[in-house]
């Protein structure tokens, strides 16, 4: 017998249950198809502008910095200011995501923008998130042809664009949106929920930012 | 593992820990950081109690249908282009992982933090077979350099102070400037970041555990703060996930519910920094991500816990709250337990994993104060299960003779009120006389291990029942 | 027509019987002042908790059967201990799984069994007769009372009516004192480390009196305070509430 069958057999014996029991199968099918929502905190259930405010506050609480922009065309300028304020070279790397590619980068002549995944040598990465989650100040990033995951982790500084209209009150709203875009039961290869910059408390329980991932997370909230 | 499994010598281990002031000082940090953090985070979320109930119910439902959810999970992983392997025990899991590493031609292997790889002793096994995995979580990296095992499931190096880390780094990173300053935790972190960055970028295989397996989507989920788990799983060509079977939950909604409990209970964060869902290998056109994705599902005794008095333990999400709040853990740290998992959750799990004969001390070394259960996000009745192990120990006549005799004598006496009354009357009178006017005894017959540390308050004299009778009361 | 006085059986507990009869008399006074008819069934010994927590289910079951038989005829059973009350209220029925008849009797007894302060506040809803105790006290929440029975506010509410008494809380009043029954002699070094922390917390409050509702904890904490040469008085909460905190405190020398 394969290990697989042995393990499943032992589970069924311990449970005193059968793998072909119609009631059990129906219960599982129902749960996977209906994906019932459990308890959702009231905290994020707010009208949109207050929801975005909560997102900004929560992101700040976990040591992300946040800038609010009126329109997408302000993004290149905001990137330049961020780099200038931190005495960083005017260089960023980003994915080919249309939402980033279509921005007026030409307005910022001093800024060098390269595209593609990171090999670990980039100081600053720029990504576009698919959603923000107000309840914890979390940004949601999905991988894909034009959205390398390495940009989320290897650069020292990670700048993430969040469209204010995509800020959800809770994770459940994000799941529903993922299902709408990719299909039920289908996930992008990588979904990253990022809440603040990388940190560690492994030395004497002292909180330090910038363990292995980005030392700083800068969020540009647009709209 | 160099720490070895030494639960049998728990009292000796505990004594050594109690005589180790730097260790005790290090553990004391837990009060403000982890315990205080949990308190603040849970107080800030009015729904926390309801979430605990929901979390318990999700896990209970998943366990009741574990076979079916595992099959569903497997189907989805395969659909996404990944491989699923089933391991009945530690040896199986190690062999499967070695095999994958060999087929991938692995020279360099990185690891994310994973208690399950500690449980199967993966590092030692791979090393014996010529592959030296590098731990990348800062705490795990530190204890790997020290040749130790984790002393806490979420804070593996909680027993180490920064001076010790500095000494370890100087020894291990001999090629760096010997005059460099390593006084502050920031400089230690920066050095580890630099050294490990090289390892991440050159690894052929990355091995992680999983906090959740999602049946709905075939995703494995890791929850970390440092980002090392992500670098471990996205950079190498092959990603191997080792996860025990009870990690499966039905849906993303269920992950969301338990996620809200996990970090708050563990570190007092509302959310850990990185929660990452991985589904299959890199897709066509993807610029990065692993080319091969393997999930190894480990049983190692868990299927036998289902349907038993220890089934509730399978709800555990490894947050460590029970450990942080345990007065025993807080007195001796994690290594004294001599087991992979320390503290209350470890004392319940360990007898299942390594046999009650070798670990009978663990269930007894608890005051049953119940604080573990009161903070457990999954509402696992830990004291009840510790008592179950004591019952098994008693049934199997593993209880030490002296204790058994004492219990039998007490039971004999307590069932005979007259004799009991006489014995207690004599005892109370005797001890009161012995104490004289002092009110406390510095030594007393049969009470050596009490009076070694504290005085024994003397009885007032007559027993309550005698005095009551003297007053002619009913 | 006046309602008949409730017939209340006092389960005094083996520790109170042996070490501290004053606690038993204080409980009787509080109950009588509150209008109860108090009985002390003569055959009472031990609730069986030591056996239960040592894995000896049969031994615990045998003692539980005695307790049920002895106490089930009363309107209420009151116990000046969260630990023994917790044993009867939360664990007895578990000892009779597979014995429906006994299980029902165990559950019926559990329903009418109460820890002393909880009985006064939650069941009778009475305020004890006015008493005075000048000074500052701190209160240790015993583990079983707190976590098995939810006793937290009751003793504090009763103490708030004591004239002259201020309660100053410890940093962590809910931390275990390290007694744990057999634990304190079986793993005495660890038990000592735990009680050291408790005593440091007690002393940190500056209170001159430590109160609690369980004699096991009190003996442990008093023993440690005495060994450290502290002058903090240690008493069962019932002694103060009944105005009977006049003799030597627990472990204190006789003048």
Tens-digit pLDDT profile for residues C3-24: 789 999 999 999 999 999 999 9
With the C-alpha atoms ordered B438, B443, B449, B452, is the resulting torsion angle positive or negative? positive
**Contact yes or no for B251 and A41 at CB 8 A:** no
Whether B176 is in a domain gets the answer: yes
The CA distances from residue B18 to A72, A187, B21, B304, C194, in Å, are 60, 50, 7, 36, 11
CATH number at residue C149: 3.40.50.11810
Verify that C25 and C81 share a domain, yes or no.
yes
Verify that B429 and B291 share a domain, yes or no.
no
Scanning A53-112 for CB atoms below 8 A from B yields 58, 62, 95
Reported as a pLDDT band with limits 50, 70 and 90, residue B16 is very high
Q: What's the distance, CA C156 to chain centroid? A: 14
Verify that C148 and C86 share a domain, yes or no.
no
> Per DSSP, what are the bridge partners of residue B275?
A193, B223
Mean pLDDT along residues A173-198? 98
Q: Which residues of B touch C24 (CB under 8 A)?
A: 464, 468
**How close A6 comes to chain B (CA, Å)?**
8
Verify that C95 and C47 share a domain, yes or no.
yes
Verify that B109 and B238 share a domain, yes or no.
yes
Whether B59 is in a domain gets the answer: yes
Whether C147 is in a domain gets the answer: yes
With the C-alpha atoms ordered B16, B22, B26, B31, is the resulting torsion angle positive or negative? positive
Scanning C125-184 for CB atoms below 8 A from B yields 143-144, 147-148, 174-176, 178-184
pLDDT confidence of residue B4: 63
Verify that B286 and B417 share a domain, yes or no.
no
Verify that B290 and B415 share a domain, yes or no.
no
Domain that holds residue C43: 7-122
Q: Which residues of B touch C54 (CB under 8 A)?
A: 390, 394, 399, 403, 407
**Contact yes or no for B392 and C252 at CB 8 A:** no
CA distance B109 to B213: 23
**Contact yes or no for A28 and B72 at CB 8 A:** yes
**Contact yes or no for A196 and B276 at CB 8 A:** no
**Contact yes or no for A185 and B217 at CB 8 A:** yes
**How close B94 comes to chain A (CA, Å)?**
14
pLDDT tens digits, one per residue of B250-270: 999 999 999 999 999 999 999
**Contact yes or no for C194 and B328 at CB 8 A:** yes
Nearest CA in chain B to C171: B31
Q: Which of B240, B238, B251 is nearest to B212 (CA)?
A: B251
Q: Which residues of C touch B420 (CB under 8 A)?
A: 45
∠ CA B440-B443-B444, nearest 5°, is 90
For residue B240, give the DSSP letter.
E
Mean pLDDT along residues B334-358? 95
DSSP 3-state percent helix, strand, coil across chain C (nearest 5): 50, 15, 35
CA distance A133 to A171: 6
Cβ atoms within 10 Å of C146's Cβ, excluding its own: 23
Indicate the number of domains in chain B: 2
Q: Is the pLDDT of residue A134 over 80?
A: yes
Domain boundary among B303, B336, B356: B303
Nearest CA in chain B to A194: B274
Cite the DSSP H helix spans in B129-250. 138-146, 162-172, 185-202, 228-234
- Which residues, 6+ apart, have CB-to-CB distance to B354 below 8 Å? B5, B7, B339
**Contact yes or no for C251 and B459 at CB 8 A:** no
pLDDT tens digits, one per residue of B455-474: 999 999 999 999 999 988 76
Both structure tokens of A39: 């308890």
Mean pLDDT along residues B299-321? 97
Beta strands in chain C (DSSP E): 7-10, 37-39, 76-79, 113-115, 132-140, 163-167, 209-212, 233-236
pLDDT confidence of residue B445: 84
Whether C195 is in a domain gets the answer: yes
Whether B319 is in a domain gets the answer: no
pLDDT confidence of residue B472: 81
Scanning B285-344 for CB atoms below 8 A from C yields 327-328, 330-332
pLDDT tens digits, one per residue of B281-299: 999 999 999 999 999 999 9
pLDDT tens digits, one per residue of C109-165: 999 999 999 999 999 998 888 999 999 999 999 999 999 999 999 999 999 999 999
Verify that C111 and C17 share a domain, yes or no.
yes
Whether C149 is in a domain gets the answer: yes
DSSP 3-state percent helix, strand, coil across chain B (nearest 5): 55, 10, 35
pLDDT confidence of residue A217: 98
CA distance C248 to C251: 8
Whether C253 is in a domain gets the answer: no
pLDDT tens digits, one per residue of B70-93: 999 999 999 999 999 999 999 999
One DSSP character per residue, A117-163 reads ---S--SEEEEE-SEEETTTTEEEEE-BTTB-SHHHHSSSEEEEEEE
One DSSP character per residue, C179-202 reads -TTTHHHHTHHHHHHHHHHHHHHH
Mean pLDDT along residues B325-344? 97
Of A11, A119, A189, the CB nearest to B279: A189
Phi (first) and psi of residue B342, to 5 degrees: -95, 180
Q: Above pLDDT 70, what percent of chain B?
A: 99
Verify that C166 and C206 share a domain, yes or no.
yes
Nearest CA in chain A to B82: A189
pLDDT confidence of residue B474: 65
With the C-alpha atoms ordered B197, B198, B201, B202, is the resulting torsion angle positive or negative? negative
pLDDT confidence of residue B399: 86
Domain that holds residue B465: 409-470
> Per DSSP, what are the bridge partners of residue A92?
A113
Of B157, B267, B289, the CB nearest to A189: B289
**How close B426 comes to chain A (CA, Å)?**
53
Verify that C74 and C164 share a domain, yes or no.
no
Domain boundary among B264, B282, B303: B303
pLDDT tens digits, one per residue of C49-104: 999 999 999 999 999 999 999 999 999 999 999 999 999 999 999 999 999 999 99
Q: Classify A39 in phi/psi space as left (phi over 0), alpha (psi -120 to 50) or beta.
A: beta
Interface A:C, ≥3 CB–CB pairs < 8 Å: no
Q: Is the pLDDT of residue C1 over 60?
A: no
Domain boundary among B269, B303, B337: B303
Domains of chain A, CATH where assigned: 48-222 (3.40.50.10420)
Indicate the number of domains in chain C: 2
Verify that B223 and B83 share a domain, yes or no.
yes
Buried b or exposed e, range A74-93, using 16+ CB within 10 angstroms: bbbebbbebbeeeeeeeebb
Q: Above pLDDT 90, what percent of chain B?
A: 95
Model pTM score = 0.96
pLDDT confidence of residue B175: 95
pLDDT confidence of residue B1: 38
């Amino acid at each position: 017998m394969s290990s697989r069958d042995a393990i499943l057999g032992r589970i069924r014996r311990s449970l005193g249950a059968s793998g072909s029991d119609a009631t059990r199968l129906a219960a599982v099918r129902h749960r996977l198809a209906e994906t019932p929502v459990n308890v959702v905190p009231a905290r994020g259930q707010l009208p949109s502008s207050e929801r975005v405010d909560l997102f900004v506050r929560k992101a700040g609480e976990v040591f992300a910095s946040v800038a609010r922009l009126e329109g997408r065309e302000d993004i290149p300028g905001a990137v330049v200011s961020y780099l200038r304020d931190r005495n960083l070279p005017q260089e960023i790397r980003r994915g080919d995501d249309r939402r980033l590619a279509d921005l007026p980068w030409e307005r910022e002549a001093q800024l060098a923008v390269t595209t593609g995944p990171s090999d670990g040598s980039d100081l600053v990465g720029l990504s576009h998130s698919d959603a923000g989650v107000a309840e914890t100040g979390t940004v949601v990033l999905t991988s894909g042809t034009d959205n390398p995951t390495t940009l989320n982790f290897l650069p020292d500084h990670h700048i993430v664009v969040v469209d204010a209209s995509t800020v959800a009150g809770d994770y459940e709203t994000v799941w529903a949106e993922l299902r709408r875009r990719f299909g039920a039961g289908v996930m992008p290869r990588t979904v990253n929920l990022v809440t603040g910059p990388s940190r560690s408390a492994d030395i004497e329980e002292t909180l330090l930012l910038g363990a292995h991932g980005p030392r700083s997370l800068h969020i540009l909230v647009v709209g | 593992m160099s720490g070895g499994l030494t639960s049998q010598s728990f009292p000796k281990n505990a004594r050594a820990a109690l005589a180790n002031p730097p260790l005790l000082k290090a553990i004391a940090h837990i009060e403000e950081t982890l315990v205080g953090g949990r308190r603040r985070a849970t107080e800030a979320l009015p729904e926390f109690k309801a979430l605990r109930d929901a979390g318990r119910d999700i896990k209970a439902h998943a366990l009741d249908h574990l076979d079916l959810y595992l099959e569903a999970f497997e189907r989805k992983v395969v659909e996404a282009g990944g491989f699923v392997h089933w391991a009945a025990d530690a040896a199986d899991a190690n062999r499967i992982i070695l095999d994958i590493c060999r087929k991938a031609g692995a020279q360099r292997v990185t690891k994310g933090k994973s208690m399950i790889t500690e449980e199967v002793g993966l590092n030692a096994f791979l090393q014996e077979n010529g592959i030296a995995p590098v731990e990348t979580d800062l705490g795990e990296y530190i204890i790997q350099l020290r040749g130790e095992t984790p002393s806490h499931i979420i804070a593996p190096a909680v027993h180490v102070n920064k001076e010790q880390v500095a000494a370890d780094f100087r020894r291990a990173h001999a090629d760096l400037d010997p005059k460099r300053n390593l006084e502050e935790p920031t400089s230690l972190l920066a050095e580890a970041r630099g050294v490990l960055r090289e390892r991440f970028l050159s690894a052929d295989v990355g091995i992680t555990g999983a906090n959740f397996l999602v049946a709905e989507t075939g995703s494995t989920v890791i929850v970390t703060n440092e980002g090392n788990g992500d670098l471990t799983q996205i950079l190498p060509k092959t990603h191997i996930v080792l996860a025990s079977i009870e990690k499966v939950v039905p849906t993303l909604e269920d992950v969301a519910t338990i996620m809200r409990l996990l970090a708050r209970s563990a570190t007092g964060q509302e959310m850990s920094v990185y929660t990452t869902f991985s589904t299959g290998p890199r897709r066509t056109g993807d610029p990065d991500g692993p080319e091969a994705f393997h999930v190894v599902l480990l049983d190692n005794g868990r299927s036998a816990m289902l349907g038993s008095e220890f089934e509730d333990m399978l709800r555990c999400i490894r947050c460590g709250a029970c450990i942080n709040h345990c007065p025993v853990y807080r007195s001796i740290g994690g290594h004294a337990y001599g087991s992979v998992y320390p503290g209350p959750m470890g004392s319940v799990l360990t007898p299942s994993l390594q046999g009650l004969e070798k670990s009978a001390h663990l269930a007894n070394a608890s005051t049953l104060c119940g604080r573990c259960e009161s903070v457990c996000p999954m509402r696992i009745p830990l004291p009840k299960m510790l008592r179950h192990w004591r019952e098994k120990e008693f049934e199997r006549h593993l209880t030490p003779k002296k204790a058994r005799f004492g219990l039998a004598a007490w039971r004999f006496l307590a069932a005979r009120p007259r004799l009991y009354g006489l014995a207690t009357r004599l005892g109370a009178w005797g001890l009161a006389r012995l104490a004289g006017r002092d009110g406390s005894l510095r030594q007393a017959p049969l009470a050596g291990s009490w009076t070694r540390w504290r005085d024994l308050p003397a009885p007032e004299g007559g027993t309550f029942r005698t005095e009551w009778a003297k007053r002619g009361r009913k | 027509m006046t309602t008949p006085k409730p017939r209340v059986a006092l389960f005094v507990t083996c520790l109170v019987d042996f070490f501290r009869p004053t606690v038993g008399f204080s409980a009787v006074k509080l109950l009588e002042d509150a209008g109860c008819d108090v009985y002390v069934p003569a055959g009472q010994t031990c609730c069986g908790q030591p056996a239960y927590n040592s894995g000896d289910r049969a031994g615990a079951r045998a003692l539980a059967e005695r307790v049920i038989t002895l106490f089930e005829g009363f309107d209420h059973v009151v116990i000046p201990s969260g630990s023994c009350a917790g044993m009867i209220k939360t664990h007895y029925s578990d000892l009779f799984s597979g014995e429906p008849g006994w299980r029902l009797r165990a559950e019926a007894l559990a329903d009418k069994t109460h820890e002393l302060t909880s009985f006064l506040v939650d069941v009778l809803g009475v305020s004890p007769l006015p008493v005075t105790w000048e000074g500052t006290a701190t209160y240790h929440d015993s583990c079983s009372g707190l976590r098995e029975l939810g006793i937290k506010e009751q003793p504090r509410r009763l103490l708030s009516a004591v004239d002259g008494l201020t309660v100053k809380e410890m940093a962590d009043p809910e931390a275990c004192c390290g007694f744990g029954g057999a634990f304190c002699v079986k793993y005495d070094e660890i038990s000592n480390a735990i009680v050291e922390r408790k005593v440091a917390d007690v002393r940190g409050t500056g209170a001159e009196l430590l109160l609690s509702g369980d004699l096991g904890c009190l003996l442990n904490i008093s023993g440690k305070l005495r060994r450290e040469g502290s002058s903090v008085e240690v008493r069962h909460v019932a002694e103060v509430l009944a105005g009977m905190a006049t003799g030597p405190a627990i472990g204190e020398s006789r003048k």
